[in-house]
């Protein structure tokens, strides 16, 4: 564990908690966290996770814009639910991207866990886009992904990051509860 990993993990807890509370400050704090984690993952040869963090940086900006632009409510974007077809299409895109990335990482790099890392990356992108769009289903996907991430990070001896992702899973359960209870879903 390094001081950098500790700082990034602390920012991660703050960012995800603010996301649950639908506070737009989750996005700039998350931006700093993902930039720090891109370096951390590079150093332990989790290249797909490193690329994921770089993409997350762009998605942090997208999420901030989505949550703060005026919409039908004065508070920005409202929580909504994706239809079954949209969920299936999104997950299929995540699976396809995972296969492409996994093949590239297995063939052209010395990645530590090319296929698992790529799958987590592909589906994390789906969850992140859903979160930026305030889709309630993001939390169920995050719960599943975070649990698997814990195992990967324990394997890579990133124990603080594993703990962080365990905490992310717990916070995601709370996010799922709170967003499902949001009045916008009942409207």
The pLDDT of residue 48 is above 90: no
The whole domain housing 161 covers: 3-186
The pLDDT of residue 31 is above 50: yes
User: pTM for this one?
Assistant: 0.86
pLDDT per residue as tens digits for the range 83-109: 999 999 999 999 999 999 999 999 999
Q: How many domains does the chain have?
A: 1
pLDDT per residue as tens digits for the range 122-174: 999 999 999 989 999 999 999 999 999 999 999 988 899 899 999 999 999 99
pLDDT band for position 70 (cuts 50, 70, 90) = low
Averaged pLDDT of the chain: 91
Cβ-proximal residues to 125 (8 Å cutoff; 6+ apart), any chain: 52, 55, 59, 94, 97
Question: What one-character-per-residue DSSP string does the chain give?
Answer: --HHHHHHHHHHHHHHHHHHTT-TTHHHHHHHHHHHHHHHHHHTT-HHHHHHHHHHHHHHHHHHHHHHS--SBTTBSPPB---HHHHHHHHHHHHHHHHHHHHHHHHHS--SSHHHHHHHHHHHHHHHHHHHTTBTTHHHHHHHHHHHHHHHHHHTT-HHHHHHHHHHHHHHHHHHHHHHT-HHHH-
131 within 8 A of 63, measured Cβ to Cβ? yes
């Amino acid at each position: 564990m390094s001081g950098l990993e500790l700082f990034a993990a602390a920012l991660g807890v703050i960012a995800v908690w603010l996301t649950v509370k639908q506070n737009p400050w989750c996005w700039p704090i998350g931006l700093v966290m993902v930039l720090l984690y891109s370096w951390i993952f590079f150093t332990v040869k989790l290249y797909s996770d490193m690329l994921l963090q770089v993409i997350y940086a762009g998605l942090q900006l997208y999420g901030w814009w989505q949550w703060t632009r005026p919409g039908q409510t004065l508070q920005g974007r409202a929580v909504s639910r994706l239809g079954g077809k949209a969920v299936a299409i999104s997950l299929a895109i995540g699976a396809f991207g995972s296969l492409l990335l996994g093949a590239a990482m297995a063939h052209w790099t010395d990645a530590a866990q090319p296929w698992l890392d790529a799958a987590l990356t592909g589906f994390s992108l789906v969850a992140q886009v859903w979160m930026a769009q305030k889709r309630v289903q993001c939390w169920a996907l995050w719960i599943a992904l975070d649990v698997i991430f814990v195992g990967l990070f324990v394997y890579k001896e990133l124990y603080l990051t594993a703990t962080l992702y365990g905490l992310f899973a717990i916070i995601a359960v709370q996010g799922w509860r709170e967003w499902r209870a949001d009045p916008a879903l009942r409207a």
